[in-house]
Amino acid sequence: MLELNIGELLEKNHAYASVMHWHGIDAFSCLNFTLGEICRIKNIDENALQLELIKREEKHTANHEQLRSYSPARLCNYLISNHHNYAQRLLPVIEHHIQQTQLQLPHAYPQLHLLANIFTTFKEDFLKHIAYENNKVFPYIKKLEELSIHFNNKLWLVVKDFSMEDFIQKHHHDDDEMHNIRKLLKNYKVDGNDAIAYKVLMNELMAFEQDLQEHSRIEEEILVPMAMRMEQKLFKKANDLVRLN
């Protein structure tokens, strides 16, 4: 791996570009350098970087059957670690690669100028959505699970400012917001004549959208129904207690 130049490595696996970025290597600016040369120039631990590149090839995710057996809290943590953290790390990489490709190949890919503007707005909105889920939705679901195990009369305080219905009403589908980007880029289509930087960028956008769609499916098909069932049982239990008193 160390003897291959960056361009050859990216042709082998487009996902390597993001790993290099996280290690301080601007892949698009050093396509003709070998990985070993760049590591020596930037004083990067060669073995650590190679391990990260191999791990990127071996990314594992749970299937929906496994996820249905998770507790709500565990499922929230899974979404944070496997999807939110991934998105937060990848979005700045994609934004940088859009800028780099636009600067290096402005005449070959004029659509990147519009993409840069669209993606900046999308990134800001999506990071707000992640923060909303991490700080509001998931703590609420975890509290519901806690109350399901150890019920007490604090339920009404928990639901006073939030409920799953609020989430459902506000939950905008960010995968649909990718529609304009996908349309602009003709479904991320590339061919053999495209520059490696453009190929990598299209692959990153496609991978991000696939991850986003999977994130949405897990929430809509597993987490939200699970949380609503918990919420309804707790409401019934609380209301029954009120009637008894």
Alpha-carbon Rg for the chain, nearest whole angstrom, is: 22
Are 113 and 35 contained in the same domain? Answer: no
Are 204 and 231 contained in the same domain? Answer: yes
Residue 36's domain spans which residues? 1-60
Are 53 and 77 contained in the same domain? Answer: no
Domain end residue (candidates: 27, 44, 60) = 60
What is the distance, to the nearest Å, from the Cα of residue 104 to the centroid of all Cα atoms in its chain? 27
- Residue reference for tokens 């692959």: 203
What is the number of domains present in the chain? 2
pLDDT category at 163 given cuts 50, 70, 90 is confident
Are 68 and 137 contained in the same domain? Answer: yes
Which helix (DSSP H) or strand (DSSP E) does residue 197 occupy?
helix 196-218
pLDDT value of position 133: 94
Spatial distance between the Cα atoms of 199 and 27, rounded to a whole number of angstroms: 13
Say if residue 190's pLDDT is above 90.
yes
Domain end residue (candidates: 36, 60, 84) = 60
pLDDT value of position 236: 84
pLDDT category at 206 given cuts 50, 70, 90 is very high
Are 7 and 98 contained in the same domain? Answer: no
Say if residue 174's pLDDT is above 60.
no
Are 105 and 135 contained in the same domain? Answer: yes
Are 72 and 117 contained in the same domain? Answer: yes
Are 71 and 110 contained in the same domain? Answer: yes
Are 208 and 95 contained in the same domain? Answer: yes
Per residue in 12-69, pLDDT tens? 999 999 999 999 999 999 999 999 999 999 999 999 999 888 887 666 677 889 999 9
Are 71 and 109 contained in the same domain? Answer: yes
The reported pTM is 0.88
How is 8-32 classified by DSSP, letter by letter? HHHHH-TTHHHHHHHTT--GGG-TT
Are 22 and 45 contained in the same domain? Answer: yes
Are 20 and 139 contained in the same domain? Answer: no
What is the distance, to the nearest Å, from the Cα of residue 29 to the centroid of all Cα atoms in its chain? 25
Question: The domain that contains 7 carries what CATH number?
Answer: 1.10.3910
Domain end residue (candidates: 13, 35, 60) = 60
Q: How many alpha carbons fall within 13 Å on the CB side of residue 170? A: 13
